[in-house]
Amino acid sequence: MIQDVGWKVGGKQGEGIDSTGEIYAIALHRMGYYVFTYRHFMSLIKGGHTNYKIRASNRQLRHHGDDLHVLVAFDQTTIDFNWNEMVDGGIVIYDASAFEAVKPSHRDVNLFGVPLTEIAKQAGNAIMKNMVAIGVSAAISKLDPEEFRPVVQDKFGKKGQAVVESNMEALLRGYAYFQEHYHVHFPLPDKPDLRDVDHLFASGNQATAFGALAGGCRFLAAYPITPATEIMYWVLEQFPKYGGVVVQAEDEIAAINMAIGANFAGVRGMTSTSGPGFSLMMEALGLAGMSETPVVIVDVQRSGPSTGLPTKTEQSDLSEAVNGTHGEIPRIVLTPRTVEECFLYTAEAFNLADRYQCPVIVMTDLYMGMSFQSVDGFPVHRVRQDRGKLISDEELAKLGRFAYQRYDASVPDGISPRALPGQKNARYVALGNEHNGVGLEVEDQETRVTQMRKRQRKLEGFRHESGVTVDGRQDAPYALIGFGSTYGVLEEAREVLESQGLPVKHIHFSRVWPFPADAFHDAMDGVRLALVTEQNATGQLKRLIREQAGYHDVLQSCLKYDGDPMSLKEIVHTAYQTFPMGVLN
Amino acid sequence: MATMLDYQTERATWCPGCGDFGVLNAMQKACVNLGLEPEQVVVVSGIGCSGKMSQHFGGYGLHSLHGRSIPTAQAVKLANKDLVVFAAGGDGDGFGIGMGHFIHAMRRNVDITYIVMDNHIYGLTTGQASPTSDVGSKTKTSPQGTVEQPILPLQLALAQNCGFVAQGFSGNVKQLVNLIEKAIQHKGFSFVNVFSPCVTFNKVNTYDFYKAHLVDLDQDPDYDPHDRVAALRRVAEANNLVTGLIYEDPDRPSFEESLPGYPDDAIVSRDWTLRQEDYDAILATFR
């Protein structure tokens, strides 16, 4: 039985590849499939190869899949670039009006020419070749072309009904052409039962932005940067309805300082960025830590260093997130595993920032942020707002003038109540200089040590549901370990390995700092060998685990840093090489 | 009603005779004159001698990073529009490391007041050339004299169409109080550059120097502070050595007034919980 189908459309950047993929993906989602998408694109506007991959399945799979069953190619480059993903017997549809396709050698792949551009012209405009391609794809998978109408309506409705009709016309002509000329099909899996499911389609970036709004964030300052900008887009659409402010800052330094300013004044504020911007924020991260001002920073990682591969995914900011800024501050680093966790943990990030009065970094990546996928609803009922220790006007009235100490180091947990500007009897200065209890800049040794201890103490009692999850057999001698967006592919890898008789569990970090040491030790119980799978070149997670928990002889690495997302094959292959089949009991 | 006593803090740590005392005094006096309680006022400062302003002022303060008082201050104001918000810094802080924010704050026009204590020198790091040091200034980093042209703050602000531009002098606190009052009352970003002599490291741009050279435009009945081009000419002709209200456009809408959805009440005082119907509307966009 078919479990899932891989479909991809490719061509030159600027040819509408994205919107083609988007329409097909949303249509499949609305028809009742689980859909996962991945966009391959480059840092330019016109030209260059781009493609949009869709995996449609009958259960929730949090990965775009290694395999490709149907490829729609607007140029030969698309075929050359993608054929190695294709399964035997896969179908390539190419635009026969534009080029004569050359078949990749030694591959059992079926090439079908369809004059996509010509048919589009007949329908009214060559630009609609994408819609013709969708019609052809629908015919290949035996879908009812009329099921695309609501999506086409949503996409083109604001351009007028005539545009909707001509696009549908192009789609129907493509459908008819393929039915008339070819008799091959690639059916989709049976549809899953979605009766009790709120079947939603969202990206990690959208979920992050939604989580912020739900968590009470009403201030975003950000600077445009791939792959984080979509957070800003979503917030720009929603914040004005809920009395929130969005500022497009002049740079990332301004952005984080603004977010700190908003939090100082008592409004939940955040900034969203990617690697280069995150690096620019390092000094201000220290200010938030030192002045004990809450702030939430979303880092949608991309390939570094420097400008790196701006449109490609990576998980190489982990060390920076955990250690970045000069000096030492308390901070929290969350690494949501799923789109649902992007929502929930971003909402939670504001509670943690307020409760512990320190910066909270929500670290996702391009793969998580920009991939749209079907999810079973968002856990909105789990969102709550906890402002942490805020001193009330009544308490301040009792204290009287000049008695309030913003940085009172005598509190056992190190977390002294905040006052907000405007409150009487609580005037204080938040500052990045070392300071005493009332917030005066001082440099004596005793105060320095007392205040450093106060800040460090804040996270000693840290408690949060995020941390480490374990999937699979608890007693397995082998483990796959990862953090953040690789959760889905590692789960699939675990299933594959288990089905081959390899006893393996999957340990995944949804928080890397404070390091969830106890939960990790529990998870590692009985593990003899573990493969730390991460998208960077130096094994940053493995180094962190060794530093925080040990296991020097147990941990091996599976690394990927070529810009592409982890593939299932790579993990499974490395696992076979790492975990001996013979030593099982 | 608050008095100067309510704003009093511990003794400031500036050198005796420092121009920043005059600026501190003028800021406090302006707030008292406008009937502002100290807890309604936030001073966000950068780093340098001028950066101590947040600690000495006596209201709420945020002693931020070097050059970053302006972005931080704008956000404080946007978060709580009921506060009066100052950004304060020096010429190194504001025209060196933080210059980008200054220009963009003029573009954005959030309703804050930006005070620069301009002493033409880096004081706290003990005497290096600053962005406003005159050509030929001999400092620790320019032993042969600076070779770079100085930043021209007023002309820069006028060219960028800043809605409120004024210049004061620490040696004339009475005028400075008046200018700061007007700056606070101006709806939008207001810029007050203050010649604030460094008595320790700058032996050229002294109180006596300014007393001898400054022209008070407030006393000139022919000067029109609503004509931006004429203001630019006058400032250039006087080699920047002027004081007074240089330019004001009272009609330019602030960022807050222009931003879609910016609420009438302070954001900090609002309930941020989403209701079920809010969730329903948002979840519908994902179907």
In tens, the pLDDT along A441-474 reads 999 999 999 999 999 999 998 999 999 999 999 9
Q: In whole angstroms, what is the distance from residue B207 CA to residue B212 CA?
A: 9
Q: What number is the average pLDDT over the span A542-557? A: 98
Q: In whole angstroms, what is the distance from residue A190 CA to residue A492 CA?
A: 20
If pLDDT is split at 50, 70 and 90, which confidence band does B208 have?
A: very high
Q: In whole angstroms, what is the distance from residue A369 CA to residue A211 CA?
A: 13
pLDDT at A585: 44
- The shortest CB-CB distance from B74 to any of A241, A258, A424 is to A258
Residues of B with Cβ-Cβ distance to A240 under 8 angstroms:
260-262
Cβ-based neighbours of A539, under 8 Å, separated by 6 or more = A532, A557, A559
Is pLDDT at A543 greater than 80 in this prediction? yes
Collapse the DSSP code of A329 into the 3-class scheme (helix H, G, I; strand E, B; otherwise coil) and give the result.
Answer: coil
- Domain with B161, as residue range(s), is 4-284
CB of A478 less than 8 A from some CB of B: no
pLDDT at A461: 86
Chain B residue with the nearest C-alpha to that of A283: B65
Chain A residue with the nearest C-alpha to that of B281: A238
User: With an 8 Å Cβ cutoff, are B63 and A433 in contact?
Assistant: yes
Instruction: Give me the residues paired with residue A529 across strands.
Output: A478
Which helix H or strand E contains A138, and what residues bound it? helix A129-140
Residues 124-153 of B with CB under 8 A from A: none
Q: Is the ipTM of this complex over 0.85?
A: yes
User: With an 8 Å Cβ cutoff, are B104 and A250 in contact?
Assistant: yes
Instruction: Kindly report, residue by residue over A498-528, the tens digit of the pLDDT.
Output: 999 999 999 999 999 999 999 999 999 999 9
pLDDT at A532: 98
Give the distance from residue A88's alpha carbon to the nearest chain B alpha carbon, in angstroms: 34
Query: And the tokens for B216?
Result: 């008070």
A582 against A270, higher pLDDT: A270
Across all residues in chain A, what is the average pLDDT? 96
Residues 224-243 of A with CB under 8 A from B: 238-243
Q: Are A64 and A51 in contact (CB under 8 A)?
A: no
Query: If we measure between CA atoms, which residue out of A335, A267, A326 comes closest to residue A295?
Result: A267
- Across the A:B interface, residue pairs with CB atoms under 8 Å apart total 182
- The shortest CB-CB distance from B79 to any of A251, A265, A424 is to A265
Q: In whole angstroms, what is the distance from residue B135 CA to residue B150 CA?
A: 7
Residue A173: DSSP 8-state: H
Q: What number is the average pLDDT over the span B64-75? A: 98
Residues 229-268 of B with CB under 8 A from A: 259-263, 267-268
DSSP string, A427-464: --EEESS-B-TTS-B---HHHHHHHHHHHHHTTTT---
Q: In whole angstroms, what is the distance from residue A569 CA to residue A36 CA?
A: 18
Q: Are B83 and B113 in contact (CB under 8 A)?
A: no
Residues of A with Cβ-Cβ distance to B286 under 8 angstroms:
200-202, 206, 378
Q: In whole angstroms, what is the distance from residue A346 CA to residue A353 CA?
A: 11
If pLDDT is split at 50, 70 and 90, which confidence band does B175 have?
A: very high
Chain B interface, best mutation among A198, A242, A258, A290, by max B CB count within 10 A: A258
Burial class (CB in 10 A: 0-12, 13-18, 19+), B35: exposed
Query: And the tokens for A352?
Result: 């943690």
B107 to B160, B183, B195, B231: CA distances (angstroms): 7, 17, 24, 19
Could you give phi then psi for residue A427, rounded to 5 degrees?
-50, 130
pLDDT at A370: 97
Instruction: Kindly report, residue by residue over A43-102, the tens digit of the pLDDT.
Output: 888 888 999 999 999 999 999 999 999 999 999 999 999 999 999 999 999 999 999 999
CB of A198 less than 8 A from some CB of B: yes
- Topology (CATH level 3) of domain A468-578: Rossmann fold (3.40.50)
pLDDT at A225: 98
pLDDT at B141: 95
Q: In whole angstroms, what is the distance from residue B92 CA to residue B281 CA?
A: 49
Instruction: Kindly report, residue by residue over B87-126, the tens digit of the pLDDT.
Output: 999 999 999 999 999 999 999 999 999 999 999 999 999 9
Which helix H or strand E contains B45, and what residues bound it? strand B41-45
Q: In whole angstroms, what is the distance from residue A512 CA to residue A531 CA?
A: 17
Residues of B with Cβ-Cβ distance to A325 under 8 angstroms:
none
- Topology (CATH level 3) of domain A201-382: Rossmann fold (3.40.50)
CB of B80 less than 8 A from some CB of A: yes
Q: In whole angstroms, what is the distance from residue A49 CA to residue A10 CA?
A: 7
Residues of A with Cβ-Cβ distance to B83 under 8 angstroms:
265, 421-422
Residues 525-584 of A with CB under 8 A from B: none
Residues 281-340 of A with CB under 8 A from B: 283-284, 287, 291
pLDDT at A583: 52
Is pLDDT at A400 greater than 90 in this prediction? no
pLDDT at A297: 98
If pLDDT is split at 50, 70 and 90, which confidence band does A373 have?
A: very high
User: With an 8 Å Cβ cutoff, are B104 and A424 in contact?
Assistant: no
Is pLDDT at A307 greater than 80 in this prediction? yes
Give the distance from residue B191's alpha carbon to the nearest chain A alpha carbon, in angstroms: 18
If pLDDT is split at 50, 70 and 90, which confidence band does A439 have?
A: very high
Give the distance from residue B14's alpha carbon to the nearest chain A alpha carbon, in angstroms: 14
Instruction: Give me the residues paired with residue A40 across strands.
Output: A51
| Location of structure tokens 């690789």 | A486
> Considering its fold, how many domains does chain B have in total?
1
CB of B270 less than 8 A from some CB of A: yes
User: With an 8 Å Cβ cutoff, are A421 and B39 in contact?
Assistant: yes
If pLDDT is split at 50, 70 and 90, which confidence band does A2 have?
A: confident
Q: In whole angstroms, what is the distance from residue A548 CA to residue A529 CA?
A: 18
User: With an 8 Å Cβ cutoff, are A421 and B100 in contact?
Assistant: no
Give the distance from residue A277's alpha carbon to the nearest chain B alpha carbon, in angstroms: 16
If pLDDT is split at 50, 70 and 90, which confidence band does A1 have?
A: low
Query: And the tokens for B33?
Result: 């004159």
Pairing assessment for the beta strands B41-45 and A555-559 based on DSSP bridges: unpaired
Query: And the tokens for A18?
Result: 């994205």
Angle between helices A116-123 and A129-140 (to 10 degrees): 110
CB of B11 less than 8 A from some CB of A: no
User: With an 8 Å Cβ cutoff, are B72 and A206 in contact?
Assistant: no
Instruction: Kindly report, residue by residue over A136-166, the tens digit of the pLDDT.
Output: 999 999 999 999 999 999 999 999 999 999 9
Spatial strand order in the sheet of B60-63 = A429-431, B60-63, B41-45, B84-90, B113-118, B190-195, B164-169, B242-248, B215-216
Give the distance from residue A405's alpha carbon to the nearest chain B alpha carbon, in angstroms: 13
pLDDT at A105: 76
- The shortest CB-CB distance from B268 to any of A239, A265, A431 is to A265
User: With an 8 Å Cβ cutoff, are A30 and B38 in contact?
Assistant: no
Q: In whole angstroms, what is the distance from residue A325 CA to residue A283 CA?
A: 6
Query: And the tokens for A315?
Result: 């998980």
Residues of A with Cβ-Cβ distance to B70 under 8 angstroms:
254
User: With an 8 Å Cβ cutoff, are B71 and A244 in contact?
Assistant: no
Chain B residue with the nearest C-alpha to that of A347: B273
- Topology (CATH level 3) of domain A4-181: Pyruvate-ferredoxin Oxidoreductase; domain 3 (3.40.920)
Alpha-helical segments (H) within chain B: 4-7, 19-33, 53-57, 69-79, 91-92, 99-108, 153-159, 173-185, 207-213, 228-237, 255-258, 276-284
Collapse the DSSP code of A559 into the 3-class scheme (helix H, G, I; strand E, B; otherwise coil) and give the result.
Answer: strand
- The shortest CB-CB distance from A261 to any of B74, B260, B278 is to B74
Give the distance from residue A537's alpha carbon to the nearest chain B alpha carbon, in angstroms: 33
Query: And the tokens for A514?
Result: 């404070």
Q: What number is the average pLDDT over the span A400-425? A: 96
- The shortest CB-CB distance from B71 to any of A261, A385, A433 is to A261
Range list for CATH 3.40.50.920 in chain A: 468-578
Residues of A with Cβ-Cβ distance to B263 under 8 angstroms:
243
User: With an 8 Å Cβ cutoff, are A250 and B54 in contact?
Assistant: no
Give the distance from residue B239's alpha carbon to the nearest chain A alpha carbon, in angstroms: 30
User: With an 8 Å Cβ cutoff, are B55 and A242 in contact?
Assistant: no
CB of A219 less than 8 A from some CB of B: yes
Q: In whole angstroms, what is the distance from residue B86 CA to residue B183 CA?
A: 10
Collapse the DSSP code of A27 into the 3-class scheme (helix H, G, I; strand E, B; otherwise coil) and give the result.
Answer: helix
* 3-state helix, strand and coil shares in percent for chain A, rounded to the nearest 5: 40, 20, 40
Q: What number is the average pLDDT over the span B7-33? A: 95
Across all residues in chain B, what is the average pLDDT? 97
Q: What percent of chain A has pLDDT over 70?
A: 99
Is pLDDT at A302 greater than 60 in this prediction? yes
Query: If we measure between CA atoms, which residue out of A403, A376, A382, A378 comes closest to residue A391?
Result: A403
Number of C-beta neighbours around residue B105 at 10 A = 26
